Amino acid sequence: MKQKNLRFYVVDVLLLALSILPLLAAIVLKILTAPPSEGISITGAQIYVTLPMPIQPLIITESQINSWLIMLSIAALCLYLTHGIRARVQTRRQLLAEWIVETVDNMIHENMGEYFAAFAPFVAGMLALSAFSSLSSLLGLYPPTSDLNVTAGWAILVFILITYYKMKCGPWHYIKSFGDPVVVLAPMNVISEVATPISMAFRHYGNILSGSIVSVLVAAGLAGLSERLFGALPGFLGDFPFLRIGIPAALSVYFDVFSGCLQAYIFAVLTMLYVSSAFPKDEYEQRKRRRAEKKQRLQKSEQ
């Protein structure tokens, strides 16, 4: 029994370590590869490697590496939360895991309906990846959600899902949908279709990036103002940035924590609404019913 408990705790420690080590690796990589700079600088994701490819070079950037490391960290954290779950044993970790599952299931039920119940893992993964990516800025990392390439990739994935469910009733039904309610509006409907992933990508990217820029500019402004007001003080007091104590941290609570989690929630809700509204459920059920009746008639005729 003691050996079993020891094994359980060892696995727990390993899973916790695996959830932390990817983030530590991202921090170390940031420190070792960040170019020297003076003062405040606002730049995009750092380019680590450029691989030659037949069509165009494959660029590996800081946002891509951080995304993969964050996904590894989330995977290890999920394994930790679900490690040792039993039907009757109620631990805090199990209660947290069950609360997450129930919350996402309720979101799916309210926004998408019972038909899309299997979407819960996808939505939960999207929420976690988006939120943790934005919160990684608290560790000094470049948040992947500040890179348009990352959010555009997510939006394209959602657009593929939207198109897939719109074509559940066949390609012809999908093409005819652009003529609703009148054929004259077909060009506008096409533009609206293309604008969906673009708006999703730019909304998420723009809100996270603007928050990061505002925080940096405010911190730089407070440093300059502190130097002007207290620069005449003797010794180290003249160089100490008094105004940068507390105020940037309060801004970070909003821009990094609240705004990051809010944008993750908005992106997930928009995904659920767009996918569920794209699915012509009534027409799909009628099509299935007609196919079943046709199949029955063929079977009777063969008999």
Q: Is the pLDDT of residue 283 over 50?
A: yes
pLDDT at 32: 87
pLDDT at 243: 65
Read off the pLDDT band of 1 (50, 70, 90): very low
CB 205 within 8 A of CB 259: no
pLDDT at 241: 65
- The token pair that represents 229 in the structure block: 């007001």
Q: Which residue has the higher pLDDT, 227 or 3?
A: 227
Digit-coded pLDDT (tens) for 8-21: 888 889 999 999 99
CB 86 within 8 A of CB 70: no
Mean pLDDT computed over every residue of the chain: 83
Q: Which residue has the higher pLDDT, 245 or 122?
A: 122
Nearest Cα residue to 125 out of 149, 91, 157, 152: 157
pLDDT at 168: 83
Digit-coded pLDDT (tens) for 135-171: 888 888 888 998 899 999 999 999 999 999 888 877 8
Cα–Cα distance for residue pair 93/91, rounded to 1 Å? 5
Read off the pLDDT band of 67 (50, 70, 90): very high
Mean pLDDT of 258-277: 90
Mean pLDDT of 276-301: 79
Digit-coded pLDDT (tens) for 161-182: 999 988 887 788 788 878 777 7
Q: Is the pLDDT of residue 289 over 90?
A: no
Cα–Cα distance for residue pair 130/112, rounded to 1 Å? 20
Say if residue 230 is exposed, middle or buried (CB neighbours under 10 Å; 0-12, 13-18, 19+): middle
Tell me, rounded to whole angstroms, the distance of Cα 40 from its chain centroid: 28
pLDDT at 21: 94
Mean pLDDT of 246-251: 68
Digit-coded pLDDT (tens) for 73-118: 999 999 999 888 877 767 788 888 889 999 999 999 998 888 888 8
Cα–Cα distance for residue pair 161/282, rounded to 1 Å? 19
pTM of the entire predicted model: 0.83
